[in-house]
Structure formats: C-alpha cells, structure tokens
Structure 1
Amino acid sequence: MITLRKLFSVIGGIIISANILAQSKSEMEIRKLEQAETDAILKGDTVTLFQKLWAPEFIVNNPANLVVTRQEVAGLLRAGKIDYESFERVIEKISIVENTAIVMGREEIQPKGKTDNAGKIVIRRFTNIWVKRNGMWKAVGRQATISAIN
C-alpha cells in the first residue's frame, strides 16, 4: 500500500525530473545558439546575427570599454575591426531563470587584420544574456573583458 509520504515523494521526484529535463533542453538550445553566434562572428555574417540571434535592443559592453548597439557592432564587423583568425568560447555556467538565460565563461580569440591585438592570443571573460520571446531565444546583452594577451 502506498502511503501519502511515498506518493508525495514520487510526485516530487517527477516534478524535479521534469524541471531538470526542461532546463537541460533549454541549456542545449543556448549552447547551440552560442556556437552559432561564434560561427557568425568568425564569418562576419551579420544576416544571421541580426535575423536569428540578436534582439533589436542587443547591447554590448565590449573589451574596449565601450557600450555599443548591434548596429555599431555590425559596423565594426564591416570595417574589419572585429575579425578573428580563431574564436573559441568555453561556457562555464548557464543559469536559466524563467525566460532568461545567463551564460558565463571564457573566450580565446586570435584577432587578425585591422582588429586590435592582431596576431596575438586574447583571453576574455564573458557574460551573455538571452531572453526567450514567442518561443525563440534572442541575445539581448553581452559583456566581455580582456583578462590576458599573449
């Protein structure tokens, strides 16, 4: 015979498992979007950034200590001021709170061309913020700080 205590324990376990699965699904989505963003930046693909990844109000507190809009970031991409030989993002933590995902970690880039620190390896700490609206995740904010240049 099942006691109320056992029943509540089973129901609680189901609820916890459902929350973990939902978070895992969202985390997987965010990881894919983070990689898509990295790929688009490497290719200078502003169409993907604007249409699929970045919200209209997307802002960045960039490594040059400037707060810029997505239009300004696109201008920097077109001008060759954001141009990388390589770009690796290592996600250390994704925290999902309701419809907001906060992603934190480190990045290793190798700038080229007209980009500051061209030819060097630049290590940055980053935070990206994604919001889910109408079933779709969009990046709304980003902060990146240089922690080392080799």
Structure 2
Amino acid sequence: MSRTLRLTLLLALLASCGIASAQAQELDARARQQLPQAAEAVGRAIVARDLDALSKLWSPKLLVNSPDNSVLTRDQVFGAIKAGMLDYEQGYAFRLERAEFYGNVAVTMGEDTYTPTFGPEKGKLLHRRATNIWQYSDGAWVLIARQATIYDPAVKHY
C-alpha cells in the first residue's frame, strides 16, 4: 500500500472519529437533559401505582435497599406496590441536589419527601436522603440501583 493511500485512509479514519465524537457529545447533552424528567416520571408512576410506566423506567435488574433493611429486586418492589406496602399520598417529591455522569451511567443524590399510606409512619411526612444510579440505553434513562435512608431534618449530626 502506498504511503499516500495509507495517509488518506488514516485521515479519513480520524475525521470519522471526530464526527462520531461530536455526535456522542450531542447525545450526552440531550441525555443529561432527560435525566431530571426520568426521575420525576418515577415519582409520578409510584404515586399512581403505574407498573407499566415503572417497567420502562426501572431496569429488570434493579436493586433497591428497602426500608425494612433488605435488598429488593424490581419484581419484589412491584410485589410491594401490588400489596399496598409501597403506597404514597399525593405530594411525593424528589429534590435533585447533584448529578454526576460517567459515560452512560449517572449518579443522582438528593432528598425524597413523601407521606406513606401504609406502615408505622402512615400519614406522616417523611424525608429520605436518596442515591439513585441510572443507565442511559436505547435513548432512555433506566434506574438500575437505589438507596434511600429516612432521616429527621431537625437532627444535625455534625
């Protein structure tokens, strides 16, 4: 292969990498804008007990640290929703405080506020510190892991 042909092929390859890189950055900007909407959609779907919507927003491999100190799969969380054990009054909210992106994965941290209709805290406004791990795939964000801890905002530990 001649030197000129090799140089031409190398330049074409580099140019195509630049185009692909620009397209990836474009996707990142659009994907970053979609993440808060996905988080809000999860909240609405939980309040509405909309398992079809949650099936699209939650990975089939979702893991959740549960308030009963166990790790649950998506199917187990669906079971809790169906049994009425995960049921919130209107007004559930997630306040996003920070999001960091790592390729097609994002970590969000913030606070949930909600009022459960089941359990020992029934009818009481609760606050949770929450960490959610999302994955961007096929043009949409899906939740792959979640950890949330109920806390008293009046108590400062340090």
TM bracket, shorter-chain basis: 0.7 to 0.9
* Deviation of 1:137 (Å): 1.8
- Amino acid of the residue matched to residue 122 of structure 2? A
Structure-1 separation of matches of 2:101 and 2:142: 14
Q: Report 1:47-62 matches (<5 A).
A: 47-50=52-55, 52-62=56-66
Return the structure number with greater strand share. 1
- Amino acid of the residue matched to residue 63 of structure 2? I
- Amino acid of the residue matched to residue 66 of structure 1? S
Q: CA RMSD in A?
A: 2.1
Rg larger for: 2
* 2:31–2:139 CA contact under 8 A, matched in 1: no
Residue in structure 2 matched with residue 70 of structure 1 by the alignment: 74
* 1:99–1:132 CA contact under 8 A, matched in 2: yes
Moved more, 60-69 or 102-111: 60-69
Residue in structure 1 matched with residue 84 of structure 2 by the alignment: 80
Q: Runs ≥4 in structure 1, deviation > 4 angstroms? A: 21-24
Deviations 1:15-72 (A, max 9, x none): 9xx95x765532320100000000000011111101x101110110122221000111
Q: Measured at CA, do residues 116 and 78 of structure 1 come closer, stay the same or move farther in structure 2, by a change above 3 Å?
A: farther
- Amino acid of the residue matched to residue 137 of structure 1? W
Q: Which runs of 5+ in 2 are unaligned?
A: 1-20
Secondary structure at the residue paired with 2:92? strand
Aligned-residue identity in percent: 34
